[in-house]
């Protein structure tokens, strides 16, 4: 029997879009013959999953899990909300978060090797939509709190030094609602601040005020901007008279970490004209 190298598996994956274990199995059955492996896969249902791989999966769900002092946040995508609410899809997401929570890695490719990739491929064939595990994030802290919005489209992890899980959950709920960019003002990328300064400077120069006044105006605008995007400076959603930082301090806690996932954020969805699609299919059937 021919030896199956990693490069052979890699090439078959690139040509078919199938999972590592499925490609390796196909190569073993074809005794290392790449073309025969592809031919066999085309005859099987495996290639059906590959055909779905190019379709945009921008819907889905988030999942969270806490294991001791470590929280894990996961996003699993489908093409439609209908599938995202399917019991089989939900069960698959539960399997993925269980494995993700049991490991230290946040690398999706490593996470999916083996049984999970086989399960994903089988689910694609069963449901008929592209399904992807998009990203995993973790937070380690003395106290970890989580919040998942009722529609499972937004999930948050919060790490605290001190405080309680209840406090962490309240702050996580705030993050879900307000979506701060960073935890503290000092965490903001200097390039972002410089860009805002450029914008504020252009606006202030049109005011016709003296240079020293303009400088003060820009400084004030930057301070306001940093407060608006920083978690600890934002008014707490449950009590706007108190900032999140003040809330944490009153409980003897400090926010040490924050992760927020919103399903599909950053994915460019394809706009589909369903009427035209139906017409195209009708024309093609003639």
What pLDDT is stored for residue 95 in this prediction? 97
The pTM for the full model equals: 0.73
Domains defined for the chain, CATH in brackets: 6-44 (1.10.8.10), 55-140 (3.30.479.20)
What pLDDT is stored for residue 54 in this prediction? 55
For the chain, how far is it from start to end, CA to CA, in angstroms?
48
What pLDDT is stored for residue 238 in this prediction? 94
What pLDDT is stored for residue 37 in this prediction? 84
User: Structure tokens of 82?
Assistant: 């209908």
In angstroms, rounded to a whole number, what is the distance separating the alpha carbons of residues 158 and 165? 9
Rg (CA), the chain: 25
CB-based contact 157:146 (threshold 8 Å): yes
What pLDDT is stored for residue 26 in this prediction? 85
Residues 6+ apart with CB under 8 A from 273: none
pLDDT along the chain (286 residues), means of 10: 82 71 84 84 59 69 94 94 91 96 92 89 84 94 95 96 96 95 93 84 74 81 91 95 97 97 80 54 54
- Report the 10 Å Cβ neighbour count for 187: 15
In angstroms, rounded to a whole number, what is the distance separating the alpha carbons of residues 187 and 119? 39
What pLDDT is stored for residue 49 in this prediction? 53
In angstroms, rounded to a whole number, what is the distance separating the alpha carbons of residues 78 and 57? 5
In angstroms, rounded to a whole number, what is the distance separating the alpha carbons of residues 134 and 63? 12
């Amino acid at each position: 029997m021919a030896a199956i190298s990693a490069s052979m598996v890699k090439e078959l994956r690139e040509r078919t879009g199938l999972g590592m274990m499925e490609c390796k199995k196909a190569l073993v059955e074809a005794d290392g013959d790449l073309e025969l492996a592809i031919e066999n896969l085309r005859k099987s249902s495996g290639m059906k999953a590959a055909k779905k791989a190019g379709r945009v999966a921008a819907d889905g769900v988030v999942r969270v899990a806490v294991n001791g002092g470590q929280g894990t946040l996961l996003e699993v995508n489908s093409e439609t909300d209908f599938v995202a609410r399917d019991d089989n899809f939900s069960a698959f997401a539960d399997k993925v978060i269980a494995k993700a929570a049991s490991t230290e890695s946040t690398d999706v490719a490593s996470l999916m090797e083996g049984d999970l990739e086989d399960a994903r491929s089988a689910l694609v064939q069963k449901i008929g939509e592209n399904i992807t595990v998009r990203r995993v994030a973790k937070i380690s802290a003395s106290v970890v709190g989580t919040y998942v919005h009722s529609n499972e489209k937004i999930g948050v992890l919060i790490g605290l030094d001190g405080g309680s899980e209840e406090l962490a959950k309240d702050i996580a709920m705030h993050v879900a609602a307000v979506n701060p960019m960073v935890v503290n003002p000092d965490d903001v990328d200097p390039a972002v601040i410089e860009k805002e300064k450029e914008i504020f400077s252009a606006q202030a120069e049109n005011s016709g005020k003296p240079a020293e006044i303009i400088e003060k105006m820009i400084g004030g605008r930057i301070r306001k901007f940093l407060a608006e995007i920083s978690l600890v400076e934002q008014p707490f959603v449950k009590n706007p008279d108190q900032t999140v930082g003040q809330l944490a301090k009153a409980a003897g806690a400090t926010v040490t970490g924050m992760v927020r996932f919103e399903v599909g954020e950053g994915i460019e969805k394809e706009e589909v004209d369903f009427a035209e699609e139906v017409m195209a299919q009708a024309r093609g059937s003639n």
